[in-house]
Amino acid sequence: MPTTSRVLRTLATVIANAPLHRGDQFAQHGPMDALDICAWAYCIAEDTPPPAEFFTDELASIRLIECSPGAMQAIKTISAVLDTHPADEQLDHGITVPNFLEHVSNWARTAPVRETKPPSVDEVIGRILRAADYAAYQDAACRADALTRRLTGRRDRRLAA
């Protein structure tokens, strides 16, 4: 499975060269199929063409994307670098969870407050690349922590002997 940073960098490249869908559903057929930012993240993370559900069934599309760990991690990372926070979704028994999919999808297709147009494709790509840098930094920090724990553990075992 590719790293989150790799998925995001590929996503930026794809969006620079393929249509970004900003309407209903997650995709629209055309000479080149246009996909929503979250749908593109799914296709890249899963290394698959867009499923038929992306064009016809929004609920099935959401479930497919939510079941992809790679896509969801990429979407959560984009959400983390946006200027707003995701809205909470109410589940059964009063449980609320952040709706990262809606947050990222709506950000890419709707105009911000006091604006008349949604972010340009260049702005979307820039934010994705910022998220990729953030993911790479997080990955490097995790690797450094793991290495430190391993080295510290070895040293502790030697000192204990």
Kindly report, residue by residue over 98-148, the tens digit of the pLDDT: 999 999 999 999 988 888 999 999 999 999 999 999 999 887 777 777 777
Q: Are 128 and 11 contacting, i.e. CB atoms less than 8 angstroms apart? A: yes
Q: Are 33 and 19 contacting, i.e. CB atoms less than 8 angstroms apart? A: yes
This prediction has a pTM of: 0.85
d(CA 18, CA 59): 24
In the chain, the number of structural domains is 1
Q: Which amino acid is at 65?
A: I
Q: Which amino acid is at 2?
A: P
d(CA 18, CA 125): 12
Calculate the dihedral angle through the C-alpha atoms of 127, 52, 29, 16, rounding to the nearest 10 degrees: 20
Residue 75: give the domain boundaries: 4-160
The continuous run of DSSP H or E covering 160 comes out as helix 121-160
| pLDDT tens track for 44-62 | 999 999 999 999 999 999 9
Give, in degrees to the nearest 5, the angle at Cα 27 between 37 and 66: 55
Rg (CA), the chain: 19
